[in-house]
Amino acid sequence: MKKRFFLILLTTFLTNTIAGQEFNDFFSTLSKNNLFNGSVVISKSGEKVFSNFYGFSNFEKQKEISDKSQFPIASITKTFTSTAILQLKQKGKLKIDDSVQKYLQDFPYPNISIKQLLNNTSGLAQEYNLFDSIIKEQPEKTISNQDIIPTFIRFKTPLSFLPGSKWEYNNVNFCIAAIIIEKISGITYASYLEKNIFKPSKMKNSFVPLDRKIKTTNQVELYTYPNLYSTNFVNTNTLKDNFPISAKSNFYGNGGIISTAEDLQKYQNALFTYKILAKNELEEALTATILNDGKMVTNNLEGKNVGYGLGWFIYSDKINGKIVFHDGFISGLTSILAHNITKNQTVIILSNTGSNIIFGASNELLQLIDNKPYKIPVQNLSRVYGNLLENGDKEKASQLIEEYIKNPTNYTATERDFNRLGYQFLRLQKNDHSLQTFNSGTLIFPNSWNIYDSYGEALLQCGKKEEAIKIYQKSVELNPDNENGKKVLNNLLNN
């Protein structure tokens, strides 16, 4: 009996050691290829099977990331806000089908429920340009959650759609939910999370900052590529954000939590073992939203169909188990917490270089945990290609496309990436680069009407009417329902 027990222990140890080596090889390869800089924790059945750190928390000082390194977790925060609301529901303090107006009397939209905030079907306006007038009037003012409702009232901001009729990802929803948490609990959002989620989950390195611009000693610096064709990172402090509200705001509830990968694993374990939320409420959070017309909310993320519950994305395909997740992104930061409920497997990744491979990496890691075939993400083709163009190596850029078409295993390429790169070159008046990018896009995606449509638009803006006509004709040929293409083509042929 003792011998059998020893063999089981030895087998488990060897299995975990081999798996740990594979996980390390996975991230070491990413790090070597400049695709990952950050922290990772992988767990099975609530126990860590792998955790490690790669790269620097501060590039300028060459300070390495450690288990104490704290990251903004961005929109993973939304799962905490949802959990807090459902805790209040569990205690009988609210009903999620209640009108928001029941708790916030000055909220100007009587037909929006708390549930519609959490499942992103409220129809509320987005924050991006909502405060432009206020920022001009009071340039020194910091915009917070408490400014949202007065702004709605002052400008009589209309809803984008009838509540419950459509799904639209919206940070404002979770900012309003955070105000409700404060109103009902009588304490700040930060204090509520500390008392009801961080502390019972034993998260000792997590907090909601009073001012997200003030960093702690252990908080990582954030780095990103300044352009879609850049291959060198810069500190985000040196860049100007596209939307003024990003620099002028201090919102919470939608994002803002500072944490570590280790702490997020503790949170996940406490949540999915019903230590901080009862089973019924958790299942409610992880049930896909149904719209007013009876249709389920579905979105496509990098080839994966997902629904959305209350603060959680949910994979539509359950062949490998029920998988839920939330990712997060701000300039220089990408995060994800993905959990396979059926198999009790979790992947948590925090990257302080805004890596765009994190979502794909989490999917491959879930495959690896399950002992199934997986692929290590590779370099983005459009970025390398764009960098060659920017450095004057047009011939090498063309060769790169030819090589990729023959053997697409060394890079990843999407139509969206080439579209975005082409348009960025166009905005920067790098017209030759833009046209070559769109042309290369048509070579890689010859059946995409959209890439031809974009190419036609670029040619037209560059004054190449005859060439634009041919490209628009190809776009309409590939998609006879391309009404915009047909309209532009008609104008070109008749003027």
294-339 tens-digit pLDDT: 999 999 888 889 999 999 999 999 999 999 999 999 999 999 999 9
Q: Last residue of some domain: 346, 369, 392?
A: 369
* Same-domain check for residues 322 and 445: no
CATH number at residue 456: 1.25.40.10
> What pLDDT digit, counting tens, does each position of 140-169 carry?
999 999 999 999 999 999 999 999 999 999
Cα–Cα dist 285/289, whole Å:
9
**CATH number of the structural domain spanning residue 217:** 3.40.710.10
302 with 441, same domain: the answer is no
Query: 382 falls in which pLDDT band (50, 70, 90)?
Result: very high
CA 355 to chain centre: 10
Residue 373 predicted with pLDDT over 50: yes
* Amino acid 9: pLDDT: 43
Amino acid at 338: A
Each residue's pLDDT tens digit, 66-121: 999 999 999 999 999 999 999 999 999 999 999 999 999 999 999 999 999 999 99
Write down the pLDDT at residue 2. Answer: 55
Task: Assign 66 to helix, strand or coil.
Answer: coil
Give how far Cα 453 sits from Cα of 423, 431, 443, 473, Å.
12, 16, 14, 9
| Both tokens assigned to 454 | 């974009």
- Does one domain contain both 144 and 293? yes
241 pLDDT band, cuts 50/70/90, is confident
Q: Are residues 213 and 150 in the same domain?
A: yes
400 and 357 within one domain: no
Stretch 253-269: mean pLDDT: 97
Distance CA 119, CA 115 (A): 6
Q: Are residues 334 and 410 in the same domain?
A: no
- Stretch 461-490: mean pLDDT: 94
Asked if residue 49 belongs to a domain, the reply is no
Residue of 343, 344, 342, 307 whose CA lies nearest to 326: 307
Residue 6 lies in a domain: no
Model confidence at 131, pLDDT cuts 50, 70, 90, reads very high
Q: Indicate if 357 and 458 belong to the same structural domain.
A: no
Count: domains in the chain: 2
Query: What's the pLDDT score for residue 242?
Result: 76
Tens digits of residue pLDDT in 417-463: 999 999 999 999 999 999 999 999 999 999 999 999 999 999 999 99
Mark which of 369, 401, 425 sits at the end of a domain.
369
pLDDT computed for residue 425 by the predictor: 97
Predicted structure pTM score: 0.90
Confidence band of 1 (pLDDT split at 50, 70, 90)? low
Grade residue 3 by pLDDT with cuts at 50, 70 and 90: low
Residue 120 lies in a domain: yes
Quote the domain boundaries for residue 170: 74-369
